[in-house]
Structure 1
């Protein structure tokens, strides 16, 4: 078989080019630290690497989202801590104001201090985050959620939603609480509260109510005590129960137009006891209902307003002194419920912060797994690469030497 000189040159050149290409490929791998420099190097690994890269990017986005959620929850928790301190301070002031040794001037001084606590609560309720959004307005976060009406009462203008944020593929977490939940809500265990009608003219004061039987069939319903008088001018009382179906008050059997003892009367209905003392006026009314019910909605700001108003009013007559004592008793119970509610919401925020820590740990492990998978797919094994580099270098040198030797072989050298 005759091999032409052209064929020998072409094969030798092709061998050198092939060795140079392999040598260059290994050089690029060593320089980049990657086994798969181009998709053509390993199409299957390159395709899987794209999917892993996308998963890493999504995991990183969730991590950034958790940072934002943690900042919101931490700020919420800090504000709720300040509010709980303010409620505790208000309760302390009301206990101080309940002393019979205080004068009207002393109570007015306490009312002035209570106003400062009240304004602090409003300021905290209208707090904003770092982006200027109102934290407790729900999704209506572009305006203050709590504003004073023309009558001077604070009203809630936000919505009842909580802003949600995706912190993981399977977790959509509330990162704020709405103001209605915090300032107009009560804990699930909130009990009965008594409240005297502001229009009462008598001097009846109450103590309680005290729960005696939670298994009573009427426990949890709303009641009211109405005062009147019999034909001889003696005071009487009647107890009515609110019918939620009909929306009306209905007399309680056996407690209608009963004689009332001004020296002290013990009433029992619906699984609760209510102690009364003092002389009522015809038409006076005392409401007994669970806090947060339709007949006795919870509102921390209304509680503060009522307490400030009664402390600023001179307690000269027996009726005014009774109104002072009844309002302070009701307000202190309301503040207890408000504090329990704020602490419950704060505990919820703390639980979410702990949950974020757990999700972070899971996310970090997931990210490590992605990085390890990506490394297994495309990263370079330097030991194998350096060995391959040396081998390709020897192969290229051998191809070059063989070409030189073949080029020098000619019959004319032997003639």
Structure 2
């Protein structure tokens, strides 16, 4: 076979160019630290790295949502803490209003203090979240969610709560209606009401035997009094029909019927009546305060009426306070859950980063070794080419 000088030179140049290209690629891998520069370098590894990167981006987005949720829950929990402190002050003021030595003017002063505390409580309920919304706006409110009208405080937000991720339970707001306007009435099982008595008052009552409870929607128990003083008697009716509970009234002694017990204090007069109805989740703290304030501001009320106002006010206040504490506890649990979710996402992100690194990152020891080998090979190729150039007939004759 005859090999021309030109072919030998062309072959040598092509080999040098190939060596130079390989050396350049090895240098790029060392500089970037990536084994895969293009998908064609390793299609399988590139696909694996792309999947890992997509998962990392998804986790990053979820973590941003998680941080927003954590901030919202922290601010909301702080607001509920402020509300609880105000409720404690309201309770202390209401207890003071039951002092038998106080006159109408004294109770009016306490009523004015309750008005101020109510306004502070309403301001907490309408507290903004710092991002253009409101902490208790539910699923969204462009204006303060609680509107103070002549008929009382009305909720103008959208019931429910916004969540950053339904799957991961990341709340971004609080259902204001449930927190402030939907506490259970009465003692949570039944509600006692003073229908017309001015000389006696009824307590919140308790459940003595849950198995005997006969409360259904619309059920009304009525306690009716006849006579007065030592001759006072009572009869309990259920939806207008007499029950087994009836007899002489003894102050301080509980009246029991169908698994319920309640005390009627004071001196019931002839014709006085009280009611017991099923509890419902419809108690508004603002409506309760409005009623209590109006009663304390009224003049010429008997001690029995004042005692009923204080007793009912404290009962409703405690029920609303229990609801607020429950909401605050839920916010705390939500933050605990977010901490656990954050830890889990951190582990998932680390795993994905490891998978991405394994798929596309360069083994630096191997990379340096390959580069040195390529460099040595390129040097050898240059020397071989230069030696071949000197082996022509003309070079020989000139030599």
- TM-score over 0.5 for the alignment? yes
Contact 1:56 1:370 in 2 (8 A): yes
The aligned counterpart of 1:196 is 194
> Does 1:272 find its partner at 2:260?
yes
Contact 2:204 2:315 in 1 (8 A): no
Out of 299, 319, 337, which is 2:284 matched to?
299
The aligned counterpart of 1:69 is 69
> Does 1:370 find its partner at 2:369?
no
Within a 5 Å distance, the mapping from 1:16-415 to structure 2 comes to 16-151=16-151, 153-166=152-165, 170-186=167-183, 190-197=188-195, 200=196, 202-218=198-214, 222-227=219-224, 237-241=234-238, 249-255=239-245, 261=249, 266-276=254-264, 277-280=266-269, 282=271, 284-292=272-280, 297-314=282-299, 316=300, 320-414=302-396
Number of matched residues? 391
Deviation at 1:55, TM superposition (A): 0.9
Measure, in 2, the Cα distance between the counterparts of 1:409 and 1:266. 125
Measure, in 2, the Cα distance between the counterparts of 1:64 and 1:367. 13
- Unmatched segments (≥5 aa) in structure 2: none
Measure, in 2, the Cα distance between the counterparts of 1:124 and 1:371. 44
TM-score (norm 1): 0.86
Measure, in 2, the Cα distance between the counterparts of 1:261 and 1:12. 121
Measure, in 2, the Cα distance between the counterparts of 1:386 and 1:217. 83
Measure, in 2, the Cα distance between the counterparts of 1:208 and 1:187. 12
* Secondary structure of residue in 2 paired with 1:173: coil
Q: Which deviates more from structure 2 when the two are superposed, residues 259-268 or residues 54-63?
A: 259-268
- Unmatched segments (≥5 aa) in structure 1: 242-248
Measure, in 2, the Cα distance between the counterparts of 1:41 and 1:212. 79
RMSD (Å) for aligned C-alpha atoms: 2.5
Deviation at 1:205, TM superposition (A): 1.9
**What whole-Å deviation, never above 9, does each CA across 1:18-59 have from its counterpart, x for those lacking one?**
100100001111111211122222222112212211111110
| Residue 397 to residue 183, structure 1, CA distance change in 2 (3 Å) | same
Q: Which deviates more from structure 2 when the two are superposed, residues 116-125 or residues 153-162?
A: 153-162
